[in-house]
Amino acid sequence: MADDILKIKAFDVQTVSFGDEYKFNAGHLVIPQQTNLKLPSYYDSIKIRIIYPHHHNVQVNSIMDIVPISAKVLGEIGTGLTHTLTGVVLMITGADVTGKQLHDFGSSNGLLKDQLQLDTPGTPGSEDYIISFDVMLGKEYEYSRKLFTDIFRYADDYLQPIRKILKMIDGREASENHEYHNYPNQGKGKPNVAIVKQVSGQGAMYDNLLFPTEPSGMQEGESIIDMDNFPVLLTPNEYRDGAIHAMV
pLDDT of residue 188: 83
Q: What is the pLDDT of residue 66?
A: 95
176-204 pLDDT, tens digit per residue, is 999 999 888 777 888 777 788 777 777 76
Q: Which amino acid is at 35?
A: T
Q: What is the DSSP string of the chain?
A: -GGGEEEEEEEE--EEEE-SS-EEETTEEEE-S-------TTEEEEEEEEEPTT---SEE-EEEEEE--EEEEESSTTSEEEEEEESEEEEEEEEETTS-BSS-TT---EEHHHH---SSTTS--TT-EEEEEEEEE-S----SHHHHHHHHHHHHHHHHHHHHHHHHS-GGG-SEEEEEES-TTTTTTPPP---------SBTTB-EEE--SSTT--TT-EETTTTTT------HHHHHTT-EEE--
∠ Cα 218 219 223 (to 5°): 60
Residues 136, 141, 145, 149, CA torsion sign:
negative
pLDDT of residue 239: 93
According to DSSP, the β-strands at 28-31 and 23-25 are: antiparallel
Buried b (16+ CB within 10 A) or exposed e, 188-224: eeeeeeeeeeeebbeebbbbbbbbbebbbbbeebebb
The list of the chain residues with pLDDT below 70 reads: 1-3, 104-106, 204
- Provide the Cα torsion 131, 119, 170, 82; round to 10°: -100
Q: What is the pLDDT of residue 199?
A: 78
Provide the whole-model pTM: 0.92
pLDDT of residue 2: 54
Question: In the prediction, which pLDDT does 105 show?
Answer: 64
Interior angle at CA 129, CA 123 and CA 132, nearest 5:
80
